[in-house]
Chains A and B, each alone.
Chain A
Amino acid sequence: MAETQTPDGPYDASALSGPTNNGRKKDMPNGLWMKCPSCDEMLYRKVVADNDEVCPKCQQHFRTTGRQRVAQLVDEGTFEELFTEIQPSDPLNFHWQGKKYSDRLAAEQKKTGNTEALICGRAYIKGRRVALAAMAGDFLMGSMGSVLGEKLARTVELATDEMLPLIVVCISGGARMHEGALSLMQMAKTSAALARYDRAGGLYVALLTDPTTGGTTASFAMLGDVIIAEPKALIGFAGPRVIANTIKAELPEGFQRAEFLQTKGFVDLIVHRHELRSELAKLIDFTMPA
């Protein structure tokens, strides 16, 4: 049976040609050095971190945590985080093979220091006030559950009420299956909130990073007035393995990568991570000058 959803499972390291876990390898426990999975260059970790997690040699964009992403985008010290009181529950009492969703949530919270897979609030970007929501790929693969939907909907409503430009950073394995159809409904809920923001005249910029898939792509990720992607980011609805299994054929080179989507007409701009802030500022000045 063909799967159209790609919840947190399918994106194991082998499914992606790009780097995972910031390119860190298990045989480098102190994390002092890393090998770029794209160009094989040995890199000093600190240099990579100072370079916004981009390979200084080949410009491969590595994945970042949600916190790193916020820090990279906003003017230092201006992020006012909101809606942290919205916490996940385990509405289905979901368990499998002796494992429990509630335990998994607790472990992810401990690992990331976040309550959920979305970090949101008000911030300034090059002096422009914005509403910002950044998915945290480090939290259960950025999967979309009830909390993510609620926090994003509130951020969109905040942007509508205060007429702020809205920036949403996407990184997601899709809807979170541990909350069943409740997760699925978040696609419509967030899209409905965006409909009102759209009609109110707000600028919505969706920033798609590696990987953006499943229900996230089929809702708010594809609804930006402007859709920006990072170079080589995997962007799609169905996961590449699911498609390969369905059509029983090899996928074309570069399929579902940012550059491919741009040629197909679904991405406005591919922007280097170093240029994101100035690109966002430019777009805001064109459309919603203060």
Chain B
Amino acid sequence: MNQTELADVSALGFEKEIAALQQQITELERGALREDKDFSGEIRVMREQYISLLKKTYSELSPWQVVQVSRHPQRPLAKDYIEMIAKNFTELHGDRRFGDDPAIIGGLAKIGTEKVMLITQHKGRDTKEKLKQNFGMPVPEGYRKALRLMKMAEKFNIPIVTLIDTPGAYPGIGSEERGVAEAIAVNLREMSLLEVPVVCVVIGEGGSGGALGIAVGDKIAVMQYAYYSVISPEGCASILWRTGEAAPEAAEALQLTGERLKELGVIDDVIEEPLGGAHRNPSEMGHNLEQYVVKTLRSLKRRKVENLVNDRYKSWRAKGKYTEGK
């Protein structure tokens, strides 16, 4: 029995049964301690029930439930992964033009055996940090900083890893005035030509153009309970259903989960999450992420640069579904 499977996590709406069982187990364990009694038999049975219920629930999550897990308040954020797997992280600030966007954190690091330029979107944990991070919604300076760091990585032949977690680029006056659309567009163009391996992982929310702006690479992965979409389910619902309350239906219609996106050829890989989601066992998730990044980078680094860049073009060129009749 892994201790973290009983991690003290707040329950989502669809996890009431799981939470109740978890509380019963905790109470029984406390009771056993307090009254010096042996409930180990009962506890074992309940833990087995708990595990099987967790497995069952998480094997049949609806797309909307996946979105909820991706936004779970205790889900590991970019900074958690930096702490867990980015050794000697040296943060580099600013776009050298206007400012430093805290929503995008980037710098040099070592992941496993691999030296990388790590570029991440960080949403912030508590209210104070969320405000500082602008809830992970980058402004133009964030995208320009990201590109500056990517060009620097290219200069020193260091592969690039990006971690994506944003509801979208910030829709504000300053953001528009300073050309957030131009900043994203230039990143899309320039990332397609980078002469170093680029691995992009959606760790939580892959919110439309704001996510794509740092997500053009050789391999695109989405964590098992993360999502990647052209528009948030709420936004889609409010436009087509005329009410944000239809978000569950919109999430279903948008087919925004990793598994489905892989079938559609939008992404390359899905990174498995611990039982019950990354928030129930952040260190296992960190380990899975590290394994994926190291394995993928090792294979990409073997490629000749011109093949790497040509194959990247081919893979992006192939995205999209249409018919070609006469």
Contacts and interface: CB of A to CB of B under 8 A. Distances in A.
Interface of A: 1-5, 7, 9-10, 85-89, 91-92, 94-97, 145-147, 149-150, 153, 175-177, 179-189, 191-196, 198-199, 214-215, 217-223, 236-238, 242-243, 246-247, 251-252, 255-256, 264-266
Interface residues of B, number: 67
A280 to B, nearest CB: 21
Nearest to B143: A218
Contacts of A188: 188, 191-192, 212, 215-216, 316, 319
Interface string B283-326: 00000000000000000000000000000110011011111111
B322 A86 contact: yes
B254 interface: yes
B253 A96 contact: yes
A141 to B, nearest CB: 11
Contact of B240 (A96, A181, A185, A198): A96
Interface string B155-186: 00000000000011111110111111110111
A191 B192 contact: yes
A246 B134 CA distance: 12
B171 A238 contact: yes
Interface of B: 137, 167-173, 175-182, 184-186, 188-193, 206-210, 212-213, 215-216, 228-232, 234-236, 239-241, 246, 249-250, 253-256, 261, 264, 266, 312-313, 316-317, 319-326
Contacts of A191: 185, 188-189, 192, 216
A265 B183 CA distance: 13
Contacts of A147: 320, 322
Given A183-B230, A237-B180, A149 B320 contact: yes
A3 to B, nearest CB: 4
B319 A189 contact: yes
A182 B321 contact: yes
Contacts of B261: 181
Given A181-B266, A246-B172, A192 B317 contact: yes
Contact of B232 (A3, A10, A187, A220): A3
B320 A146 contact: yes
Contacts of B323: 86-89
Nearest to B239: A9
B208 A153 contact: no
A181 B170 contact: no
Nearest to B206: A181
A222 B179 contact: yes
